[in-house]
Homo-oligomer: A and B are copies of this chain.
Amino acid sequence: MKAVVLLSGGLDSATVLALARRRGFACYALSVDYGQRHRLELERAAAVAGALGAIEHRVVTLDLRAIGGSALTADLAVPKDRDAAAISHGIPITYVPARNTILLGLALGYAEVLGAFDLFIGANVLDYSGYPDCRPEFLTAFEQLANCATQAATEGRGTFRVHAPLLRMTKAEIIREGVRLGVDYSQTLSCYDPDTRGRACGRCDACQLRKKGFAEAGVADPTIYQ
């Protein structure tokens, strides 16, 4: 059975790809070059897709900088050195307006072309509760939308499902699961603000959550920091 897996090149989506493969899906990885400042993650995504046996890896170019509104797509500073309380409360400036709606929309289009009905996304509510489009109610609403938005569903060929297997896992649990499944996390990049050589800053929210996850999982952190 075919599935489309949204693959950012980060830790979470790499683990999702490994999980989807383990569940027996033929995986078609989709990355989106949306003008994010951490575009090096796209090269990592290609490496991850290859290593974890994706059948195909496509990159769609979408210039979200035309809209802006986020530290990831506009000329705004990425917050550094925030403490755990700050990270886990409120919606950060790295929120990209409607990003997961758009990403899942693209995954849905790709799935329809492939004849797939299963979409995988690395959304997670525990470590990082600030993004509204990572919550279960959002994913359920998207599933409902998908099933009336498409030719495939309205002609009764199948029912779309949005899978978010990491939804309620901690970062440490995700890492332990990924290690068990053979994910090579040295290939992944979580940092929002890496240098030109792809070395992580170690100080943005994403770096801090990742570091803490490896520490709590008792797994050596393979990340190369600046």
A138 contacts B by Cβ under 8 Å:
yes
Flag A97-140 by CB within 8 Å of B: 1 or 0 each: 11111100110111011000000000000000000110101100
A186 contacts B by Cβ under 8 Å:
no
Chain B residues whose C-beta falls within 8 Å of the C-beta of A64 in the assembled complex: 60, 109
Nearest CB in chain B: distance from A7 CB, A:
14
Q: Quick one: closest B residue to A145, CB to CB?
A: B141
- Asked if A102 contacts B109 (CB within 8 A), the reply is yes
Copies in the complex: 2
Among A62, A112, A138: residue with most chain B CB under 10 A:
A62
A85 contacts B by Cβ under 8 Å:
no
- Asked if A141 contacts B144 (CB within 8 A), the reply is yes
Instruction: Please tell me which one of the listed residues B66, B112, B154 contacts residue A60 in the complex, with CB atoms under 8 A apart.
Output: B66
Q: Quick one: closest B residue to A141, CB to CB?
A: B145
C-alpha spacing A146/B95, complex, angstroms: 15
- Asked if B154 contacts A101 (CB within 8 A), the reply is no
Known pairs A61-B66, A132-B151. 7 more at Cβ < 8 A?
A61-B62, A69-B109, A69-B112, A97-B151, A98-B108, A141-B141, A144-B144
